[in-house]
Amino acid sequence: MPRRPKTINKHRLADLFVLLLLAGLAASYCLDAVRASTDILNLILVLPVTVIVLVLCLIQLVLSVARLRSESTAQEPVTDMLPVISVFAAYVFSLRWVGFDVGTCLFIGVFLWLHGERRWGWLFGYSISFALALSMFFSKMLPYSMPMLILRTAS
């Protein structure tokens, strides 16, 4: 009979945390809806769906706790993903200030550099040309103005 590992599996623990987070978000949304109005039109779908979500989360919680010490399938380390997610988040949050043209150029350049591109011609050439082409295409196609830093004055 295989020996049961004594330590708690970190992935399973994180899984449990995600489950509790989802249940918490559903409950807080429902409470916010109740606080906004107890009118039946406001709660006719939100309330029953939230109750079902919480019941299902409770069942899943019991199952997850029982499996807390069992092995889980191999996952890529979170540390491998964090730089990509962080650079993308920085790109999106900076758009308001640096505009789509400069923001996109910086994002692509930093991403390429982080992933080992050291040929300066490719690094600068691709990030500048791609960002410019995309910014010009979308700014011409869309019926509303886009935040831009350089192309704003050019167009």
Partner 1 sequence: MIDVAAFFSAIEMLFSSASPWLIVIPGILIGLVFGAIPGLQISMAMAVFLPMTLYMDFMQAMLFLTAIFTGGSFGGSIPAILMNIPGTSSAIATAFDGYPMSQKGEHNVALGLALGASCTGVIVGYSILFLLINPISELVLKVGPAEMTIVILWGITLIGSLSSGSLLKGVISGLIGLLIGTIGYSEAGVTRGTFGSPYLLDGVSVIPAMIGMFAASELFRQANREYLVDDSAARKVSVRLILSGFRKALANPGIVLRGSLIGVFVGAVPGVGSSVANLLSYVVTKRNAMNPDSFGKGNPAGVIASESANSTSEAGSMATLLALGIPGGGATAVILAAFAMHNITGGPQFIREQTDVVYAIIIANFGQAILLIGLGLILIPLLANVIKVPMTYLVPSVLAMAVFGAFGLTGDLSGPLTVLVFSVLGWVFKRYGYSVPAAVIGVLLGGMAEDSVIYSYQISGGQWSYLLERPMALTILALLVVSLFGSKLVDVLMRRIRR
In the bound state with partner 1, the residue whose beta carbon lies nearer, of 49 and 154, is 49
- Residue 128 binding partner 1, by CB under 8 A: no
Q: At 77, which helix (H) or strand (E)?
A: none
**What is the identity of the amino acid at 138?**
F
- Residue 22 binding partner 1, by CB under 8 A: yes
Classify 115 as helix, strand or coil. Answer: coil
Beta-carbon neighbour count of residue 3 at 10 Å? 5
List CB contacts of 111: < 8 A, sequence separation 6 or more.
84, 87
What Å distances lie between residue 43 and 8, 31, 38, CA to CA?
40, 10, 7
In the bound state with partner 1, the residue whose beta carbon lies nearer, of 95 and 150, is 95
Applying CB under 8 A, which residues contact partner 1?
14-15, 18-19, 22, 25-26, 29, 32-33, 36-37, 39-42, 44-46, 49-50, 52-53, 56-57, 59-60, 63, 75-76, 80-81, 84-85, 88-89, 91-92, 95-96, 100, 104, 107-108, 111-112, 115-117, 126, 130-131, 134-135, 138, 141-142, 144, 146-147
